[in-house]
């Protein structure tokens, strides 16, 4: 009878089983898995989580996937957690899960989950920041009570701008911190291994870019890995170029001008650009290549640091050679201070160049690294000005440059005095004057002779006749001819010697 009193009625069995299931699901939905759930295998948890996701039981699915992830860090669980966040109206959480799923090296690129995650990333918002978490390996990271992953994380966590509660759990030890996420910036949280301190900082953002296309895709990939590893060793936050271009498309124009004389422009969204370029030698018999690494700051004209290594074109330098080179360039660039230079030319429309880089406006201040720079200013009609400027402090340096106008060459409009040409006389005057002079000579001669003969005997008398029977009377004729000859002489002389009037002379010369 006692046995019968202690026995459960037969109809209570299904009821008790239903109560157990409800309590189990309630514990899962509250985010605190029960002992029964914790005892399930990862496969069983994933199966139940997928069923809960399809039934739109999002809190239950979230707890089941998190419980499975704590057992085994499968990349597929990041995809499922992204789907839960996307269905729950948490786009930034969804982007964080999807992106870390895509970057996991164990993910099969041809899988349908990969395509779905890639398509989801293209439609999610981009107003966010990044958080890099460092601490003890196998530490469980939670942000705002959301399971993020187990250290080390393959990529930074994407978060909405603002304050977030960060928790790192390792065994029975839990460390908490509050981090402030800035839009389009990276934040770093480093947990102490043997203490409860948390170092929160905002490291500079760097974009890694390879200019040369290599025939072997693995070569470019290995070079990029070396560059990213060097950037991480220096404490830099790496920002994918696609993310920068999505928010600022003109950044592509800036990258296209790196390493060449260009017009100065200001761009943000990244603190540095780590650029690698490959140059081939011109010698055809001994082909060789050079890899040039330079680190730029988008708002500064010139590179902060650069270095070069020679290598055969068919091979890339070993990591042991590239790593010190990259560390040297990055370290020099990060430690190099900068200052501000403002060139004020007179006239203001003058063209100003710094190290052959054309400034958009010489009156606007530009940032330069500490060092010496060649400045040139020129303007049409003015003497070009060249000077050397030293930037050695953080105080803005203002340099006035006065361009001296060139003295114009005055060309006189007055022609040089021409030699005085003797006036030309008409030919008819010369001929007529000559004829008159010749006639006057004849008439003067005849007239003089007639004057001399006047009063003389025509023939000498012959004895016994003593007186001249006939006397020559030529006085009047001689005087007339002398007068006419004198007149002809004066007339001919005037025709030849008198100058021609200027009006007639100019008309004849024309």
Q: What DSSP string runs through 210-258?
A: E-SPPSSHHHHHHHHHHHHHHHHHTTPEE--HHHHHHH-TTHHHHHHTT
Does residue 304 fall inside a structural domain?
A: yes
Long-range pairs for 492-495 at CB < 8 Å and ≥24 separation?
492/432, 492/433, 492/434, 492/435, 492/436, 492/437, 492/438, 492/439, 492/440, 493/433, 493/437, 494/433, 495/429, 495/430, 495/432, 495/433, 495/436
18 lies in some domain: no
Q: What is the pLDDT of residues 13-24, one digit of tens each?
A: 444 443 444 444
Which residue reads 């199966």 in tokens? 47
Co-location of 316 and 348 in the same domain: no
Taking only the tens place, the pLDDT of each residue in 377-388 is 999 999 999 999
Query: Does the pTM exceed 0.75?
Result: no
The domain of 356 spans 339-402
Q: Would residue 290 be called left, alpha or beta, if left means φ above 0 and alpha means ψ between -120 and 50 degrees? A: beta
362 and 319 together in one domain: no
Q: How far apart are CA 26 and CA 33, in angstroms?
A: 9
How many Cβ atoms sit within 10 Å of the Cβ of residue 234? 19
Encoded tokens for 70:
């704590």
Q: What is the pLDDT of residues 417-447, one digit of tens each?
A: 666 666 666 777 777 777 877 887 878 787 7
142 pLDDT higher than 90 = yes
Q: Could you give the C-alpha distances from 118 to 82, 98, 111, 115, 490, in angstroms and in order?
A: 12, 8, 11, 5, 124
**Of 10 and 303, the one with more pLDDT:** 303
Residue 34 has pLDDT above 60, yes or no: no
Is the alpha carbon torsion for 292, 298, 303, 305 positive or negative?
negative
Residue 36 domain-assigned?
no
DSSP-based three-state secondary structure for 477 = helix
Tally helices (H) and strands (E) across the chain. 15, 20
Q: Which range has the worst mean pLDDT, 357-371, 391-405, 451-465?
A: 451-465
Q: Is residue 435 part of a domain?
A: yes
> Is residue 458 included in any domain, yes or no?
yes
Same domain (yes/no): 328, 348 = no
Average pLDDT of the chain is: 79
**316 and 431 part of one domain:** no
DSSP string for 25-41: HHHHHTT---HHHHTS-
Q: Is residue 85 scored above 90 in pLDDT?
A: yes
Helix (H) or strand (E) holding 19: helix 12-29
Look-up of token digits 């001994």: 286
Residue at a domain's end among 153, 187, 202: 202
Domain total of the chain: 4
State the DSSP H helix or E strand holding residue 374, giving kind and residue range, or none if neither: strand 371-378
Angle at 260 between CA 255 and CA 263, to 5 degrees: 80
- Contact assessment for residue 352 and residue 343, using Cβ atoms and an 8 Å cutoff: yes
Q: Which two tokens stand for residue 271?
A: 């603190």
Which CATH number fits the domain that encloses residue 169? 2.60.40
pLDDT at 449 over 60: yes
Same domain, 305 and 233: yes
* Same-domain pairing of 214 and 330: yes
We report the CATH number of the domain holding residue 246 as 3.40.50
Cα separation, 82 vs 62, in Å, equals 10
Q: What is the mean pLDDT of residues 40-66?
A: 93
Q: Does residue 213 sit in the same domain as residue 180?
A: no
How far is it, in rounded angstroms, from Cα 318 to Cα 86? 43
What is the DSSP-derived secondary structure letter of residue 8?
P
Alpha helical stretches, state H, 72-111: 75-87, 91-102
* φ/ψ bin of 145: left (φ > 0), alpha (ψ from -120 to 50), beta (otherwise): left
pLDDT of residue 331: 94
CATH code of residue 394: 2.60.40.1120
β partners of residue 378: 351
Q: Which domain-ending residue is among 202, 235, 262?
A: 202
- Residue 68 near residue 33, CB atoms below 8 Å: no
Helix (H, G, I), strand (E, B) or coil at 469: coil
Check pLDDT > 60 for residue 509: no
For residue 23, the model assigns a pLDDT of: 45
Residue ending a domain, choose from 402, 417, 446:
402
Higher pLDDT, 174 or 194: 174
Residues 151-170 as b/e (b if ≥16 CB within 10 A, e otherwise) read bebebbbbbbeeebebbbeb
Residues 259 and 225 in one domain: yes
Q: Tell me whether residue 66 is in a domain.
A: no
**Is the preceding omega at residue 464 within 30 degrees of 0, hence cis?**
yes
- CA dist 239 and 402 (Å) reads 44
SS3 (DSSP) at 46: helix
H-helix or E-strand containing 358?
A: strand 357-358
Residues 326 and 255 in one domain: yes
- Residues 198 and 221 both lie in one domain: no
Is the same domain home to 304 and 226? yes
Residue 247 lies in a domain: yes
235 pLDDT tier (thresholds 50, 70, 90): confident
Task: Report yes or no on 410 lying in a domain.
Answer: no
More confident residue, 256 or 1: 256
**Are 104 and 149 within 8 A, CB to CB?**
no
Looking at per-residue confidence, does 290 or 475 come out higher?
A: 290
Length of the chain, in residues: 510
Q: Write the DSSP assignment of 137-163 as a string of letters.
A: TTPEEEETTEEEEESSPSSPEEE-SEE
Q: For 389-415, how does the pLDDT look when each residue is reduced to its tens digit (9 = 90+)?
A: 999 987 889 999 999 998 775 665 656
221 and 289 share a domain?
yes
């Amino acid at each position: 009878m006692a046995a019968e009193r202690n026995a459960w009625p037969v109809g209570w069995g299904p009821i008790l089983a239903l109560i157990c299931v409800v309590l189990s699901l309630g514990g899962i939905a509250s985010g605190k898995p029960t002992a029964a759930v914790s005892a399930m295998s990862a496969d069983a948890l994933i199966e139940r989580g997928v069923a809960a996701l399809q039934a739109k039981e999002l809190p239950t699915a979230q707890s089941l996937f998190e419980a499975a992830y704590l057992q085994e860090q499968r990349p597929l669980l990041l995809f499922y957690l992204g789907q839960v966040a996307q269905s729950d109206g948490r786009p930034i959480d969804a982007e964080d899960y999807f992106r870390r799923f895509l970057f996991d090296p164990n993910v099969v690129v041809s899988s349908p989950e990969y395509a779905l995650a890639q398509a989801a990333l293209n439609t999610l918002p981009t107003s966010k920041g990044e958080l890099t978490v460092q601490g003890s390996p196998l530490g469980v990271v939670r942000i705002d009570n959301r399971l993020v992953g187990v250290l080390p994380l393959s990529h930074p966590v994407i978060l909405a701008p603002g304050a977030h509660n960060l928790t790192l759990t390792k065994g029975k030890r839990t460390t908490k911190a509050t981090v402030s996420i800035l839009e389009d910036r990276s934040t770093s949280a480093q947990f102490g291994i043997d203490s409860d301190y948390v170092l929160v900082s905002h490291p500079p953002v760097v974009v890694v870019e390879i200019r040369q296309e290599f025939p072997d895709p693995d070569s470019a990939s290995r070079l990029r890995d070396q560059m990213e590893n060097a950037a991480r060793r220096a404490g830099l936050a790496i920002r994918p170029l696609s993310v920068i271009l999505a928010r600022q498309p003109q950044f592509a124009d800036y990258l296209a001008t790196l390493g060449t004389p260009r017009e100065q422009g200001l761009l943000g969204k990244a603190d540095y650009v780590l650029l690698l370029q490959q140059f081939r030698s011109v010698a055809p018999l001994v082909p060789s290549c050079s890899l040039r690494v330079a680190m730029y700051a988008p708002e500064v004209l010139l590179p902060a640091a650069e270095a070069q290594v020679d290598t055969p074109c068919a091979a890339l330098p070993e990591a042991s050679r590239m790593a010190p080179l990259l560390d040297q360039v990055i370290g020099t660039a990060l430690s190099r201070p900068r200052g501000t230079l403002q060139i004020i030319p007179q006239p203001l429309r003058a063209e100003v160049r710094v190290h052959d880089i054309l400034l958009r406006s010489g009156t606007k201040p530009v940032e330069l690294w500490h060092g010496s720079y060649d400045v040139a200013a020129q303007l049409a009609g003015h003497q070009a000005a060249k000077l050397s400027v030293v930037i050695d402090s953080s105080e803005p340096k203002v340099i006035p440059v006065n361009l001296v106008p060139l003295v114009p060459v005055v060309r006189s409009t007055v022609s040089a005095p021409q030699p005085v040409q003797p006036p030309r006389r008409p030919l008819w005057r010369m001929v007529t004057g000559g004829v008159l002079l010749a006639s006057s000579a004849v008439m003067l001669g005849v007239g003089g002779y007639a004057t001399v003969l006047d009063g003389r005997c025509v023939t000498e008398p012959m004895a016994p006749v003593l007186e001249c029977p006939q006397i020559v009377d030529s006085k009047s004729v001689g005087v007339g001819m002398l007068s006419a000859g004198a007149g002809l002489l004066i007339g001919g002389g005037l025709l030849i010697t008198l100058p021609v009037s200027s009006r007639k002379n100019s008309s004849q010369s024309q």
